[in-house]
A and B are shown apart, each in its own frame.
Chain A
Amino acid sequence: MHDRTIAELAQALARGEVSSVELTRAALDRIEARDSRYNAFITVTPDQAMSQAEAADAARAAGQAGPLAGVPFVHKDIFCTDGVRTSCGSRMLDTFVSPYDATVVRNMRAAGLVMLGKTNMDEFAMGSSNETSYYGPVKNPWDTARVPGGSSGGSAAAVAARLAPGATGTDTGGSIRQPAALCGITGLKPTYGRVSRYGMVAFASSLDQGGPMARTAEDCALLLGAMAGFDPNDSTSIDRPVDDYAAALEGTTIRGLRVGLPKEYFGEGMAPGVRAAVEAAAEVLRDQGAEVVEVSLPHSGLSVPVYYVVAPAEASSNLSRFDGVRYGHRCEQPQDIIDLYERSRAEGFGTEVKRRIMVGTYALSAGYYDAYYLKAQQIRQLISDDFRKAFEEVDVILGPTSPTTAFPIGERADDPVSMYLSDVYTIAANLAGLPALSMPAGFADGLPVGVQLVGDYFDEGRLLGVAHRYQQATDHHRQAPPGAVD
């Protein structure tokens, strides 16, 4: 059962071939037996999972179950879960048990999905390798000496290792897509405002977006349908009906699809195996009748610097609430309030989080605001304009997800700039607020390579549909890491 997709499991449940209790028990046993290899989980919640599974089975027996009822999955440990620790990968929140559910958590529970536990992640979602987690690095199921990518590395590894058929992730600069690419799975960052941010611990509010991670585009479509929707508790959520993504899969045809390849992405920095995978993916789409053309995103090269002003600036403010006063880590024996702040934060945050708080604080400081934050926002607008012009000519943009395949644990840990460049192709979609998907597109030296599709606003249905057609024509997404299917 662990090699089945969400769509297959939903069908099996609907046909009565298996119960949710059986699926859930098996999944929990598998996590118990295997997660020590990957460290994908921060918290496993067997009791809640079993009671949710029982409830799903009861609902199904009563004829009141939705299509996903009883399917197990995992949440990234950035989503607040009532009564369950929500650590965000940080010592700061190691003891924090949320008293409320995130909207995404509520939505997925309402769909009857069964949460197995909460996955490891870079601390406060700041990282591209999952090495900044307080709970230790996650290991890539394809090669446990390598990183799974980040920050949603635990979710990606859990799905790749067949510990869960699907997961939630969050993506601020590539945190769903890059680990999806490095672990050989499919992940979608929706349009900004499509999925509620309420209850998702904030990193950079104007960029953060939750989304699905699974093995196939079809599964991502099913999960997104359960996650997405307007939320009155999130002022940046958009009041617009959720598309029928499952229907969009079948409704999409590649014939006549205009696919753009941004010429700026094919310069230096991209590994040869990655380039080959992108070109091969373009060829697959062309074979199905797509028209593949070159497009230009002239301000692409500014994405990383703009991002590393905007994201840390917002983070420096968002993380101010972690002050040791009301919840979270508090130092021993504070002498006064300043001592309490300084030591609680010094002890509670890791190095990368501190680095970004300092960078962001600097960027917002009097005398620097105009030169950094304001300027970055202006360039951000130019980056959005690039995409707007490109989408006048093409329907989707195809490119690499990450410049390289999974790199060895420790390789870039002391070199923040090379780490930051891991997200060079993914960041622009966050800055523009556009939906973007990463899908498996082959292998280089035995490691998965992902390619990215970027769509116009609210065009998730088309992205999923194109990926679905691609996956019908290829089998990269069916490959399992060594030892994962046995």
Chain B
Amino acid sequence: MQWETVIGLEIHAQLATNSKIFSGASTQFGSEPNTQACPVDLGLPGVLPVLNEGAVEMAVRFGLGIDADIAGRSVFARKNYFYPDLPKGYQISQYEIPVVGTGRLEIALDDGTTKTVGITRAHLEEDAGKSLHEDFHGMTGIDLNRAGTPLLEIVSEPDLRSAREAVAYAKKIRTLVRYLGICDGNMQEGSLRVDVNVSIRPEGSHAFGTRTEIKNVNSFRFLEKAIHFEVERQREVLEDGGEVVQETRLYDPGADETRAMRTKEEANDYRYFPDPDLLPLEVDAAFIEHVRATLPELPDEKRDRFTEEYGLPAYDANVLTAARELADYYEQVVAAAGGEPKLAANWVMSELGGVLNAQGLEITGSPVSAEALGGLIRRISDETISGKIAKQVFEGMVNGEGDADAIIEARGLKQITDSGEIQKMIDEIVDANPEQVEQYRAGKDKVIGWFVGQVMKASGGKANPEQVNGLLRHKLDG
């Protein structure tokens, strides 16, 4: 039987506020345990939550970024359960009425087409602390620094049909939250956490199969692997005549498998009810318009502008707009180069991309500044150097030898455009290789490439290849 995979994601994005969602304590990552937990975060007797307006603004930014309805009135509720790192014995979340309603996000598929994924809702809630199991000799330590960090839980519709689509969607969410400046998107530090709902159904069926929820997926690679494993597991269960059990499963990257955590029957009754300590959250039209006015150019808008303004292929535009910093870098390169947008795109994506990848750097940590790369491209476009020589110059730039002009000068890499000098090299090579001349004249046109190569070699790569080509043909055809 052919099976269709159905996936929905719940993504928790930690909002980049300076202070917590319901207290004034700092949200900085990596501090000494329990140094960023004030009485409110500790859940001391008598403390009360006060909503951080910055978190609301960020939620609204996200809502506008996915073209969603923003609720004029939303409600905070208590989700009650006992857990050592949940100080109050309940989490303040939004349940029946979230601040961000139905929205949508466009993702690019492998075949070059796009797909619109529905977003059911996004709601504000507080993060819990962390339980530390190491270094406590059979006991558990509690770190409440993270308790009260604002989270936006983004719930997608079950619109995704493969692991690849799920990854594309998750990446797009990360791109968007980073553009909006509401989350750093760092999955290792847990700033972006993904829970996956997976089910399968016979191809052509409209009813959903029983789903499982996979937790603890902390990289895009694991997301893809976890889904593959889970789809395969469910297929085997169903094809063996069994039934998928609705349950929560944990992905174990070491073993590359998902394991059952708890079944639906074991699930908590969270006893949600509106939090009487907080008034309903009211967001008026003026506030929404104020937020809208501060929105940056969003990834899709930027992508469309890149294809139009720079004439880039869709693929390039998608890659270059995947991160706001990368797009900014690219535009600075084009400005410094004084044009050549496609050449600039190639350099940023392949040469620079390769270096960043190899060194594990982000674009913001690039060893070559946008101005410097633009300067290099300018020298290619004004034919001071060839593309091939430019790669040598670039290596020098990566190694900190200076800007393009300095390296060209120091290494004597300036392109030879003196036709007399090139003609001399051509004459010598043509004279020395009568056999190849014969072949060329017999109609073996490809030999021209070999001649070009010889001349380039003789020039130390500095001759202008196009010029060489023209002069060679003139000589051989003449």
- Is the Cβ of B82 less than 8 Å from the Cβ of A320? yes
CA distance A339 to B469 in the complex (A): 85
* CB 8 Å contact bits of A175-207 with B (1 = contact, 0 = none): 000000000000000000000011111101110
Taking a contact as CB atoms under 8 Å apart, the answer to whether A201 and B46 are in contact is yes
Residue of B47, B82, B272, B278 most packed against chain A (CB within 10 A): B47
Query: Which residues of chain A in 202-247 are interfacial with respect to chain B, using CB atoms and an 8 Å cutoff?
Result: 202, 204-206, 232-236
Q: Is residue A254 contacting chain B, with contact meaning CB distance below 8 A? A: no
Indicate if A317 sits at the interface (CB-CB under 8 A): yes
Residue of A nearest to B23 (CB): A233
Chain A interface residue bracket vs B: 35 or more
Q: Does any Cβ of A come within 8 Å of B448's Cβ?
A: no
Q: Name A200's contact: one of B46, B82, B84 (CB within 8 Å).
A: B46
Interface residue? A409 (CB, 8 A): no
Shortest CB–CB separation between residue B274 and chain A, in angstroms? 9
Q: Which residues of B contact A365 (CB under 8 A)?
A: 269, 271
Contact residues in B for A80 (Cβ distance below 8 Å): 44-46
CB distance from B457 to the nearest CB of A (A): 74
Interface assignment of B365: CB less than 8 Å from any CB of chain A: no
Are B279 and A98 interface neighbours, CB within 8 A?
Answer: no
Of A26-34, A323-331, A441-449, A451-459, the segment with at least 4 beta carbons within 8 Å of chain B is A323-331
Give the contacts of A370-400 with B (CB-CB under 8 A): 373
Among the listed B39, B50, B87, which residue makes an inter-chain contact with A232, where contact means beta carbons less than 8 Å apart? B50
Question: What distance in Å separates the Cβ of A122 from its nearest Cβ neighbour in chain B?
Answer: 16
Closest CB of chain A to B335's CB: distance in Å?
47
Q: A317-B271, A320-B90 known; A326 and B42 CB under 8 Å?
A: yes
Name B66-98 residues within 8 Å CB distance of A: 78, 80, 82, 84, 87-90
Residues facing B in A76-111 (CB within 8 A) are 79-80, 86, 88, 93, 96, 98-100, 102
Set of chain A residues within 8 Å of B44, measured between Cβ atoms:
80, 98-100, 327
In the complex the two chains form, is A96's CB within 8 Å of B89's CB? no
Which residue of chain B lies nearest to A99 when distances are taken between CB atoms in the complex?
B39
- The answer for the CA separation of A93 and B188 in the assembled complex, in Å, is 39
Whether A317 pairs with B273 at a CB distance below 8 angstroms is yes
Select B45's contact among A98, A232, A366, beta carbons within 8 Å: A98
Assess whether B295 is interfacial by the CB under 8 Å rule. Answer: no
CA gap between A205 and B275 in the complex, in Å? 9
Tell me, in angstroms, the Cα distance from A128 to B78 when the chains sit together.
28
Is A321 in the interface zone, CB < 8 Å from B?
yes
| Residue A337 lies at the interface, judged by CB distance under 8 Å to chain B | yes
- CB-defined contacts of A314 to chain B, threshold 8 Å: 276
**With the chains together, A88 CA to B45 CA distance in Å?**
10
CA of A337 to CA of B89 in the docked complex: distance in angstroms? Answer: 13
Task: Find chain A residues with CB under 8 A from B273 CB.
Answer: 313, 317, 364, 369, 373
* B392, chain A: closest CB distance, angstroms: 63
Nearest Cβ in chain A — how far from B47, in angstroms?
7
| Contacts A99-B44, A235-B278, A364-B273; A320 near B49 (Cβ below 8 A) | no
Question: Bound state CA distance, A364 and B80, in angstroms?
Answer: 10
List, in ascending order, chain B residues with CB within 8 A of A317's CB: 78, 80, 89-90, 271, 273
A407 within 8 A of B: no
- Residues in chain A near residue B45, CB distance under 8 A: 80, 86, 88, 93, 96, 98, 201-202, 321-322
User: Bound state CA distance, A98 and B277, in angstroms?
Assistant: 21
Expressed in whole angstroms, the Cα–Cα distance for A262 and B71 within the complex equals 41
Q: Mark B274-304, 1 if CB is under 8 A from A, else 0.
A: 0011110000000000000000000000000
Contact B82 A233 (CB under 8 A): no
Q: Tell me whether A321 and B271 are in contact in the complex, defined as CB-CB below 8 angstroms, given that A235-B51, A337-B84 are known contacts.
A: no
* Chain A residues whose CB sits within 8 angstroms of the CB of B84 once the complex forms: 323, 325, 337
Q: Are A323 and B46 in contact (CB under 8 A)?
A: no
- How many angstroms between the C-alpha atoms of A200 and B44 in the bound complex? 11
Which residues of the partner chain B approach A235 to less than 8 Å between Cβ atoms?
48-51, 277-279
Is A430 close to B, CB under 8 A? Answer: no
A361 within 8 A of B: yes
Q: Which residue of B lies closest to A200 (CB)?
A: B46
Q: A201-B46, A235-B48 are in contact. Are A100 and B277 (CB under 8 A)?
A: no
Q: Which residues of A contact B244 (CB under 8 A)?
A: none
Bound form: Cα–Cα A373–B50 in Å: 24
Is A341 in contact with chain B by the CB < 8 A criterion? yes
| Any A CB within 8 A of the CB of B402 | no
B277 touches A320 (CB 8 A): no
In the complex, whether B43 has a CB less than 8 A from a CB of chain A is: yes
In the assembled complex, the Cα of A341 lies from the Cα of B269 at a distance in Å of: 17
**Whose C-beta in chain B lies nearest to the C-beta of A337?**
B84
CB neighbours of B87 from chain A (8 A): 321, 325-326
Contact B142 A199 (CB under 8 A): no
List CB contacts (< 8 Å) of A289-305 with chain B: none
B89:A197 contact, CB within 8 angstroms: no
CB distance from B57 to the nearest CB of A (A): 17
Contacts of B89 in A (CB 8 A): 317, 319-321, 323
* Complex-state Cα separation, A317 to B78, whole angstroms: 8
Residue of A nearest to B39 (CB): A100
How many angstroms from the CA of A100 to the CA of B46 in the assembled complex? 10
In the complex, what distance in Å separates the CA atom of A136 from the CA atom of B39? 30
- Which of B47, B51, B140 is A198 in contact with, Cβ under 8 Å? B47
Chain A residue with the shortest CB-CB distance to B45:
A201
Q: In the assembled complex, which residues on chain B have CB atoms less than 8 Å from the CB atom of A198? A: 46-48
CB proximity of A358 to chain B, nearest CB, Å: 13
Separation of A291 and B111 alpha carbons in the complex (Å): 84
Most buried by A among B46, B87, B277: B46
In the bound complex, residues from chain B placing their C-beta under 8 Å from that of A201 are: 45-46
13 inter-chain pairs at a CB distance below 8 angstroms, sorted by A residue, are: A80-B44, A99-B44, A197-B48, A198-B46, A234-B50, A235-B51, A236-B48, A321-B89, A326-B42, A326-B87, A337-B84, A365-B269, A366-B271
**Closest A-B pairs by Cβ, 8 of them:** A320-B89, A364-B271, A205-B276, A206-B276, A199-B46, A201-B45, A321-B43, A80-B46
